[in-house]
Chain A
Amino acid sequence: MTVAPTRVASQVTVGEALPEHPIPLTRTFIVATAIASRDYQDVHHDPALAVERGSKDIFMNILTSNGLVESYVAAWAGPAAVIKRIKIRLGAPNYPGDTMTMTGTVSAVEGRLVTVEVKGVNSLGPHASGSVVVELPEERA
C-alpha cells in the first residue's frame, strides 16, 4: 500500500514554520484522553473533586500533553519519521471549553535528525512548550 510521503532532511530548513493546529478542548476529549492513557486521577474526570482540590475544573493530564506534542510533529514529518525526544515544560492547565493552538518552528537539522520547537498555547498562556527531535528517513536516491 502507499502511505503519505515523509519529509527528508534536505527538504527541511531551519526557521521553517509548521502549520498552526488548533485543538478544541472539550470535556469529553479531556476525559477520553486521560482514560486512554490509563490515568484515573480524579482531577482529570471528576469536576466536583477537581474543584475540591483547588482547581477551577478538570484539566488535561500530562501524558496527553506529551502525546499531542508528539502527534503534531509526527503529522508534519510524515509516517516514516521516528520520534527520538519529546521535551516539554508545563504551564497553564488545559481546561474544558478552551482551545489549545499548536505552533512549531524547525530549530536544527543535523544529518537526519530534525529539532522542532513546539508550543501549545491556550487562552491562559502556554500550556506546553519545548522541543521534539524526529529522525527522518534516508534521502531517496
Chain B
Amino acid sequence: MSATYEERLNAWVGKQLVRPTPAADPVNVPMIRHWVEALDVANPVHLDVEAAHATGRGDVVAPASMIQAWIMRGYAKTVRPQAGADDPYAEFIALLNEGGYTSVVATDSDFEFMRELVPGDHVSADESVESISPEKTTGLGAGRFVTTVKTYRDASGEVLATQKWRTLRFKPKAAAQAEPEKPQALRPRAAINLDNQFWFEAAKEHRLVIQRCTACQTLRHPVGPQCPHCQSFDWDTVEASGRATLYSFTVAHHPRHPAFDYPLVIAVVELEEGTRLITNLVGIAPEDAVIGMPLELEWLDADADLTLPVFRAASAAGEEN
C-alpha cells in the first residue's frame, strides 16, 4: 500500500531538516563590524568594550538578529553547492517539487533570544519542520505554508535563540498558465437512450423541442416514454419558441468542475409553452438574476458531441411580446 502525497508530506512534521551544523567561525568582532557598518547601527555596545562595560555587560555583544548570519553558508557553498549523499533538506525540497511547489517566498520570521552573544561563542543551528498547511489559494499561486523552527545553540548545547520561519511553497502562476497542452475539461453528459435521443439530436440542430402526447396533447419535460397525464405511449414533438421566464435559480461556487465558468448560475426556466427546464443562465451576473425575469434561448455548443440550450436575459424586442 503506497502512501498518498499528503501522507508523505505530513510525515515530515516534527522531523529534522537540517542536522546541528556549526558556524564556520565563532562570534567575532570583524564580522560584527561589517554588520554594524553596513546596517548603520548606532548602538556602541557592539564594538566598544568600554561602552559594553558601562551598560553592565562583560564584553561587546553581537546584534541579536545577527545570530542568523553566523550560520550562513557563505559564498563558496552558495555558488558551488555540493549535494550531500544523505541530506534531509534536499529530500524535503524534492518532495515539494514533486507536488509542483517549485517556488518559495518567506512570509514570517519570529526570533526569541535567550541571551546575548559575545565574541568566542560558537553557534550551531538545526532546523525542524513544525507544520505544513493544506494547499491554499494565494495571490502568487496555489501553495502550502511550511513553518520550520531553527534552534541556535552554543558549544555547550545551551539554547541561545529560536527562530520560527514561515515560507510559502507555491506553484508559480506563470507555470500554471504555460500548460495549454492540457485538454479542455468536458461537461458531464446524459446517458443517451432510445427515449431521450431525439431531444439531444434536435439540440445539436439548435432546435429546442418539447415532447407532446398525441392522445391528450399534454406537453411534458423531462422526456419519457409515457404520458404522465393519460398514460399513452404515443408522442410527437413541438418546437419551443425559445421565450421563457426565470422560475428559480441557484449559484454554484464550490466545488468547481473544470468544464464550467464560475460563478455558475443554475436555473429552472419556465418555457412560454409551460414546461420547465434545468439549464444555465449566461451573460447574467448572479446579483442581476431576478425570479420572473424574461429570458431567451441561446445555444451552447459545449464540444463536438454536446449542444445544450442555455438562457440569457430577453432583449427589449422580446419583452414587447
- Report if A141 contacts B (CB, 8 A): no
Select from chain A the residue with minimum beta-carbon distance to B165. A62
Which among B37, B113, B172 is the interface contact of A36 at CB below 8 angstroms? B37
**B75: Cβ under 8 A from any A Cβ:** yes
Total residue contacts A-B, CB cutoff 8 A: 121
Tell me the bound Cα distance from A1 to B48 in angstroms.
Answer: 10
Knowing A1-B50, A6-B55, A82-B116, say if A29 contacts B38 (CB, 8 Å): yes
Decide if B78 is an interface residue (CB 8 Å cutoff).
yes
Contact indicator A84/B66 (Cβ below 8 Å): no
Interface residues of B in 106-129 (CB under 8 A from A): 106-113, 116
With A6-B55, A36-B39: A84-B68 Cβ-Cβ less than 8 Å? no
What interface size band does chain B fall in?
A: 35 or more
Say yes or no: A84 contacts B65, CB within 8 Å: no
Residues 107-141 of A at the B interface (beta carbon under 8 Å): 130, 137
- In the complex, A74 Cα to B64 Cα: how many Å? 10
Q: Is B54 an interface residue, CB under 8 A from the partner?
A: yes
The yes or no answer to A63 lying at the interface (CB within 8 A) is yes
Within 8 A of A (CB), among B257-277: none
Contact of A83 with B54 in the complex, beta carbons under 8 Å:
no
- List residues of chain A with CB under 8 Å of any chain B CB: 1-3, 6, 29, 32-33, 35-41, 54, 62-64, 66-71, 74-75, 79-80, 82-90, 130, 137
Q: Which residues of A contact B75 (CB under 8 A)?
A: 38, 40
B108 touches A85 (CB 8 A): no
A39 is contacted by which of B41, B65, B72, B174 (Cβ under 8 Å)? B72
* A40, B79: Cβ atoms closer than 8 Å: yes
- Scoring B105, B106, B174 by chain A CB atoms within 10 A of each residue's CB, the highest score goes to B106
Contact A33 B38 (CB under 8 A): yes
In whole angstroms, what is the CA distance A82 to B117 when docked? 11
